[in-house]
Structures are given as structure tokens and as C-alpha cells.
Amino acid sequence: MKRKMDYKTIAELISKSKKKTPSKVYISGNFKEKDFEGRKFHVFGSQDFWILIGDYPLIQSWMEKHKDRIKDKHVEIIARYSALPLLDLSKVEARIEPYAVVREGASIGKDCIIMMGAVINVGAEIGARTMVDMNAVVGARAIIGRNCHISAGAVIAGVLEPPSKKPVVIEDDVLVGANAVVLAGTTVGKGSVVAAGAVVLKDVPPGVIVAGTPAKVIRKVDEISSKDKISIVSSLRKRR
């Protein structure tokens, strides 16, 4: 897979981005739309109930000016001094389940599945029809190929520092078991299997099964009698 974002691009993106504190604020008070003229946040509501969405310092400044007219308020801080927003999922041709976290700058291939609690960091690339299961973490700049399955709780290490470190590469048709860890600088070859709980410290050849800490080759994939144990289910990749 061709890299879309190297560490210099990501570092520059983060360093130059305006750090924001995204928030939702619910207020009650008798306001009119003209009271919000010139504001730099979103406003929804009418008469006695309003929802303010945007960078909290801007909302806080407005509320301070109108504190005598605010009857009640509820503040929800979504993040604090966040450098990057979340990816706009409306442009993704994949199934993203609730509470998955995908940062802007990540790339999600067509017909992927990103399950609840999964985290995809900036610069990571997920190939078409790959599933990232519940609570799995795909770190910055990691590359995952097509038709892979990253099982629940697995960690595909990211790398921004040191910048010379090679990112993790998971080639096509790889299965990474639950709670396995693949450390930065390693490549897992096409069609291989990383057993549950394994810790991968060095490159894994194509078509093998590795297990243990540190992970070692225990057999070839071709030696498995039942392929159902390592196959993916194509029907799950359908978006509609």
C-alpha cells in the first residue's frame, strides 16, 4: 500500500493545527437569534432553550457577557486542547459502528468494518474489507492491508517518535488474534496468522502462524486442517 502521510506531514499537521476544546453547551434563557450575531460557534434553538456547539473558550466568552440572562446551563466538554478532529465519516464507504474513534488523517478502505471502541490514529491506513474489532488500536502511520481481521483488544503499534522508526505493515489476508501486540518496525507477511496474546517483535514471513512472547513461527498456515478457523466472512463486509 502506498503511504499517504509520512511523519513529517503528520507532525506539521499537528503542530500547525489550532488546539481546540470542542464542546456542547445547553442553556435556558430568553434569547433571540440576534443575540448570537457575530459568534464563531454553532447555535440551535429558539426562545428559552438553546444548544451551542463549538470551541469552549468562544462559547464561554459569550456566556460571560450574557450571564445575567442565562437561567441554567449544562456543559459537555468533548476533548481538551485537541490538535486534530475526528474523521468526517460521511465520506467513508465502510461500516463504522458507534463509539469507534477515527482521527482525521486516517484512511479507511471500502467495505471495512470498524467495531465499537476501536481506535484508528492519524496517518493509519486500513485496506478494503478489513475488520478492526472491538477495542483494537491501530496506531499512527500503521498500514493494514486488504481482507485482514484485527481481533478484539489487539494493538498495532503506531510510530511518530522517533521519526526514523519504520511503521508496522500488516500485509493482505492477515489475521491478528485477540490481545496480540505488533510492535513498530515489523511487517507481518501476506496470509499469516498472529495467535491471540502474541507479541510480535520481528518480521513475520508470509503464510505462517506465530505465537508466544516473543512471537515465533509454530507452523505453516497450509498445515491447518480446517480453514474456517482463519477465514473471513465476506457477508459481514456488506454495507447495505
* 206, part of any domain: yes
Mean pLDDT value across the chain:
90
Among 77, 103, 118, residue at a domain's last position: 77
Residue 1 is predicted with a pLDDT of: 42
* 215, part of any domain: yes
Average pLDDT over residues 120-139: 96
Residue 137 has pLDDT above 60, yes or no: yes
| In a shared domain, residues 120 and 192 | yes
| In a shared domain, residues 60 and 131 | no
Task: Give long-range contacts, CB 8 A cutoff, 24+ apart: 227-235.
Answer: 230/175, 230/193, 232/129, 232/131, 232/147, 232/149, 232/175, 234/129
* 3, part of any domain: no
* Residue 239 amino acid letter: R
Rounded to an integer, what distance in angstroms lies between the CA atom of residue 162 and that of residue 86?
Answer: 24
Whether 210 contacts 200, CB under 8 Å: yes
Q: In this structure, what DSSP letter does residue 84 have?
A: S
Average pLDDT over residues 76-98: 93
| In a shared domain, residues 158 and 187 | yes
Residue 69 has pLDDT above 70, yes or no: yes
Q: Residue 26: enclosing H or E segment and its boundaries?
A: strand 22-28
* 36, part of any domain: yes
**pTM for the predicted model, two decimal places:** 0.83
* 11, part of any domain: no
Rounded to an integer, what distance in angstroms lies between the CA atom of residue 228 and that of residue 168?
Answer: 27
CATH code where residue 25 lies: 3.30.70.250
* 15, part of any domain: no
Residue 84 is predicted with a pLDDT of: 86
Q: Which domain holds residue 203?
A: 89-231
Rounded to an integer, what distance in angstroms lies between the CA atom of residue 209 and that of residue 205?
Answer: 9
Categorize the per-residue pLDDT at 17 as very low, low, confident or very high, splitting at 50, 70 and 90: confident
| In a shared domain, residues 99 and 218 | yes
- Partnered with residue 177 across adjacent β-strands are none
* 10, part of any domain: no
| In a shared domain, residues 221 and 129 | yes
Q: How many domains, the chain?
A: 2
